[in-house]
Structure 1
Amino acid sequence: MSAEAAKHARQLLLKEYRGVLSTHSQAMPGFPFGSVVPYCLDAEGWPLILISRIAQHTRNLKADGRCSLLVGERAAADVQAAGRLTLLAEARQLSEAADIEAAAQRYYRYFPESRDYHRVHDFDFWRLEPVRWRYIGGFGAIHWLDRVALANPFAAGDGAAERGMVEHMNDDHAPAIARYVAQAGLPGTEPAQMAGIDSEGFHLRIGQALHWLPFAEPCETPLAVRQALVAMARG
């Protein structure tokens, strides 16, 4: 049961792209401090956030890296019957130039507008390293989980494998992407762009919203991804 719960928890983490970050307040000791942050997942499948150096939550994390990220299903009619996931984590600021560059390249694909304020307004990348997960899949479906995240086989190293596949799809296969949008019933008011690929599916960015679509079966190689994308385009 825990393996199935972990899968559902991971899919919720992939489907959403913003959550409530809770930190230990320095201004009001003893109280938690909540703020909304966007995120994408790094090569380890861990949340990657970009936050301002002057933000209250950044000051809190610098003093105490223990935090939590609450993610819930967007637009749920009944929030208590919907899935939600709380990640208890240690937040680490990225400091190595290679790590920062890899994070930037990945994060910009998900949130293109971040490119400007990252470079100009003193924002830094932080990674939320999981300690434990609490997943609630609805009434009575409550689980403590130790393993939820999966490493992305295509984002390892400098992420060239994933980046190449994403750029190829965006440059050469716009009709296929439009078909994925139509099949999933996603809003088609703006052209979709592929933002990322992992072993279980891929992210599409439509305007400022992100949507994750699953593969029928997990894919561990670029060839498997190609075959899965062709099959999905054919319907």
Structure 2
Amino acid sequence: MSTVKQKATLGAEVRRFVRAYHNGVLCSLSKRLAGHPFASVSPFVLDDAGNPVILISTLAEHTKNIDADPRVSLIVHPCAEDMLTADRVTLVGRAARLPDKGAFSERYLRYFPKAADYFSAHDFFFYRISVEHIRYIGGFGKIHWVLTQQYSPPPTEALVAAETDILTHMNADHRDNLRGYCRHLQGSDVTDVEMVGIDCDGFDVRADGKLMRFDVSDPIIDAQGARLALVNLAQKCRESP
């Protein structure tokens, strides 16, 4: 495998890892404490470019820090029994408030429906972390700085435009397939299922209240690609014992 191919594959691996989680530790530069690092827990959802979007209050300490100095980092790390041996990714960049609070709300609320109460509060806003540097630790001896162009997903404007229709169709007509994905690909028998998001790397399903991530082998760039990937997965599930 060529070096270029290796780097491209590593970037996709990092992006897929980040997509599997929706909570991280945000580190900003403290305004109150003269630039000391200030860490706080922060839920996030990726936008179509792979940048984390967070919903934060103007009253929060980290928001005051960001408004004074936008440089931040977000570490994405599973809550593993042995934290030092678990994979983790640190996304480093600059955070900026989205000008339109409603533009990202539909996608965010699909992942965090309990955040709906925050939208009635005038002091909550979305901030996007534009990723500039990426540090990936994938176990012993697998430590890399990953370039943003390697991490960035392919253009998916057509998929983004079709996402709501795809979700509506799957949730209205193919819940049995969603249950099959959970059963055969995640080993989990579930009752209540809902597809909440789809992107170039796969899709997310809320199954009995828990988010489950499903990766696909080939990038999805439009509605036709989504249909093909979902049909192929359903066929594999039907053929599995």
On whether the aligned pair clears a TM of 0.5, the verdict is: yes
Give the drift of 1:191. 1.3
Does structure 1 residue 115 correspond to structure 2 residue 119? no
Does structure 1 residue 79 correspond to structure 2 residue 83? yes
1:142 maps to what in 2?
143
Of the two, which has the highest radius of gyration? 2
Task: Report which stretch shifted further, 208-217 or 60-69.
Answer: 208-217
2:30 maps to what in 1?
25
Alignment of 1:158-177 (within 5 A): 159-177=160-178
In structure 1, distance between residues paired with 2:31 and 2:222: 46
2:222 maps to what in 1?
221
SS at match of 1:59: helix
| Structure 2 counterpart of 1:131, one-letter code | E
Cα gap change, 1:76 to 1:214, in 2 (>3 Å)? same
- Tell me how large the CA RMSD over aligned residues is: 1.9
2:235 maps to what in 1?
234
Give the drift of 1:225. 1.1
- Kept after mapping to 2: 8 A contact 1:152/1:198: no
Task: Report which stretch shifted further, 114-123 or 23-32.
Answer: 114-123
Cα gap change, 1:141 to 1:170, in 2 (>3 Å)? same
Q: Please list the CA deviations of residues 94-144 of structure 1 after superposition, one character each: whole Å capped at 9, or x if unmatched.
A: 11x3xx322011111111111221223521000000111001111111111
2:239 maps to what in 1?
none
- Matched length: 229
SS at match of 2:234: helix
1:67 maps to what in 2?
72
In structure 2, distance between residues paired with 1:153 and 1:53: 32
Give the drift of 1:208. 5.0
In structure 1, distance between residues paired with 2:52 and 2:137: 19
Q: Please list the CA deviations of residues 162-195 of structure 1 after superposition, one character each: whole Å capped at 9, or x if unmatched.
A: 1110111112111111111112326555612111
Cα gap change, 1:175 to 1:207, in 2 (>3 Å)? closer
Of 90, 97, 111, the match for 1:93: 97
Give the drift of 1:223. 1.1
Cα gap change, 1:77 to 1:3, in 2 (>3 Å)? farther
SS at match of 2:104: helix
SS at match of 1:220: coil
Identity, % of aligned pairs? 38
- Kept after mapping to 2: 8 A contact 1:80/1:139: no
| Structure 2 counterpart of 1:146, one-letter code | L
Residue ranges of structure 2 left out of the alignment (5+ in a row): 1-5, 237-241
1:13 maps to what in 2?
18
Alignment of 1:39-58 (within 5 A): 39-58=44-63
1:200 maps to what in 2?
201
In structure 1, distance between residues paired with 2:232 and 2:189: 21
In structure 2, distance between residues paired with 1:207 and 1:67: 34
Give the drift of 1:151. 5.2
In structure 2, distance between residues paired with 1:80 and 1:61: 28
